[in-house]
Amino acid sequence: MRAKALAVWGTGSGVGKSLFVAGLLRHFRRMGLKAAPFKAQNMANHARVARGGELATAQWLQALAAGVEAEVRMNPILVKPFGERGAQVVVLGRVDPFLSSLPWQERKPHLEAPVREALEGLLAEYELLVLEGAGSPVERNLWPDLPNLKVAEWAGAKALLVADVDQGGALAALYGTWALLGEHRERLVGFAFNKFRGDLSLLTPAYRLLEGWTGVPVLGTLPMLPLELPEEDGFRYRPRAGEGPKVAILRYPHAANLDEFWPLAELARPIHAQSPEEAEGAELLILPGSRLPARDLPWLRRFLPLLRRHLEAGKPLLAVCGGAEMLAEAILDEEGVEEKGVFPGLGLLPHQVRMRREKRVEAKEVPLLGLTGYWAQLNGLKVRGYEIHHGEGLPLFHQEGSLLATWLHGLLENPGVQRALFGREAKGLEEALDALADALEAHLDLKRLRRALGLSGKAFPAGSAKPPDPPPPPGLVLLLGGAKSGKSRFAQRLAGPYAALIATAEPRDEEMAERIRRHREERPPTWETLEEPLALAEALTRARHPTVVVDCLTLWVSNLLEHGLDPLEEAERFLRAVEGSGKRVIAVSNEVGLGIVPANPLARRYRDLLGEVNARLVEAAEAVYFLVAGRALSLKGPNPAPGVG
């Protein structure tokens, strides 16, 4: 049986897609589902070693949340940027030199096959896949979009759209993304806000606006969470100031694998130092990995006096992978594996590093022995970690005074190391992932999400049609119903984000003015509004959009009678204009013939005329819906749209 799939899309990068995927996978794990993460293409210099090679840290963490073994199929394409001059492309866990040498646009035709192969394999082996999108799904200049839309299509996925409130503009970002999705918006089953802090009552009016404009519900808002999890983008992340010794992580321009230092936010007072002044007074200095050590060397050289003073004082310095390479006597890269040339290092280690084309990607478990001074606390521990590097020439571990250099990433993630160096353990990723899932379950309507995925019941009626996308088929659609039956909202959902509204109401009293104001507020902001109480045919020719909503014919007929015009003649003129416009016209009208007989002749005449106008429009319409208490019944043409009928 093929797995069900949920795509988590974002309104942009850094909005919390990775976080949502991890939390949802932990939630589905609690339900007893065999679920797994998938991200077709990730761009990050933060990677982990898993079955088959290397994959992005985000998918490694998501696999941990799901309780399954991480493997390279979960992130078939990993792009590790070299700054402005290109990137290393990792395909199914291994560097692909051919693709790495191609310009970005020329790589695209080569990526679909490994992505499709990995996706289909996982769909066959799991019950549910949670697909993380990349950036935004509506960068239409880059369509056809592989990591968001194509993958969702292949998997038959439903989609959740996430926005970051903390960045500002979340309402506009959600609506704008929905509007630009075009025919792909039919996959959306919900919106979610992320990283909210403050008074939630200020945000909840956006729920009603979004659902009114789009027909897509807001499933909830996740507050800003005090969780320390490995970050997909270490440059966007700022570690929380905890209690304990000051630890300075030197953040050079091409720093990589910063995610491995997540425990420090709980165990110490970490900072990302970009100047020697910021690092002054640190008890522990850390040189993290680097994607381009040769390029980072000039930046690091200004720290050399600080490093020497720190070591002369007997204070500990930890240099990991690329950070250790820069402390060697020289970096030799004759083949241009990373940066062609010979680069003098800082000379704090008595070794030379040579770059090899073959990349070492390996998980390790090693005993620590023979360390002295501060690092002697680690003797006797067996530590787990991983190697990802092209360089050769350094031992796996090497100590020079209080300097400990190692190829091994992940040293500080070992609980034994944490106890030895800081006197306590970080709470651990499992506890943080449980807290994340707790928050999602508390703040989001996950029951509704599960129904949409078919995990329990159905979210929408079988056979329901999707709202059309511009350009729409021309013709007339008529919506009938009583007062407050949901006609206007249903018209908005049918029309989509780009439509012209011909409004026939006139603010003749305060109550009517207030009604008009409320309708205007609920209207999609991308709509054009034409206020025309009488001349519908002329207004139709002025409308810029190919979809036009007329709301409503009930007031229009009343206006015509007041001005001594024949509603039946005007209705015929309106129908001729609809036919000649080539536009899709959605007309709203009240069904007034179901109530008691009016008490005066004028009211009876109005009722009869409106009934005749409605009957004439029904005859000409391509589709007719009758609205009752917010539910749409099809009288003619296709079934109602999702979430309404």
Q: Hey, which residues are catalytic here?
A: 321, 409
77's CB contacts (< 8 A; 6+ apart) are 40, 41, 42, 89, 90, 91, 111, 114, 115
DSSP 149: I
Nearest Cα residue to 522 out of 493, 482, 556: 493
Contact 210, 180 (CB under 8 A): no
473's CB contacts (< 8 A; 6+ apart) are 584, 622
SS3 297: helix
Helix 205-214 to helix 510-522 angle, to the nearest 10 degrees? 80
Per DSSP, the residues of 8-45 read EEESSTTSSHHHHHHHHHHHHHHTT--EEEE-SEEE-S
Residue reference for tokens 């998501």: 62
Q: Is the dihedral of CA 551, 557, 563, 566 positive or negative?
A: positive
3-state SS, 426-490, equals CCCHHHHHHHHHHHHHHHECHHHHHHHCCCCCCCCCCCCCCCCCCCCCCEEEEEEECCCCCHHHH
Q: Is the dihedral of CA 482, 483, 485, 487 positive or negative?
A: positive
Residue 120 backbone dihedrals phi, psi, to 5 degrees = -65, -35
SS3 48: strand
DSSP 300: H
* d(C-alpha 24, C-alpha 26), whole Å: 5
Nearest Cα residue to 16 out of 120, 154, 160: 160
Nearest Cα residue to 347 out of 325, 317, 327: 327
16's CB contacts (< 8 A; 6+ apart) are 10, 162, 164, 194, 195, 222
Neighbouring CB atoms inside 10 A of 510's CB total 8
Hey, what are 60's tokens? Answer: 């490694």
* d(C-alpha 159, C-alpha 136), whole Å: 13
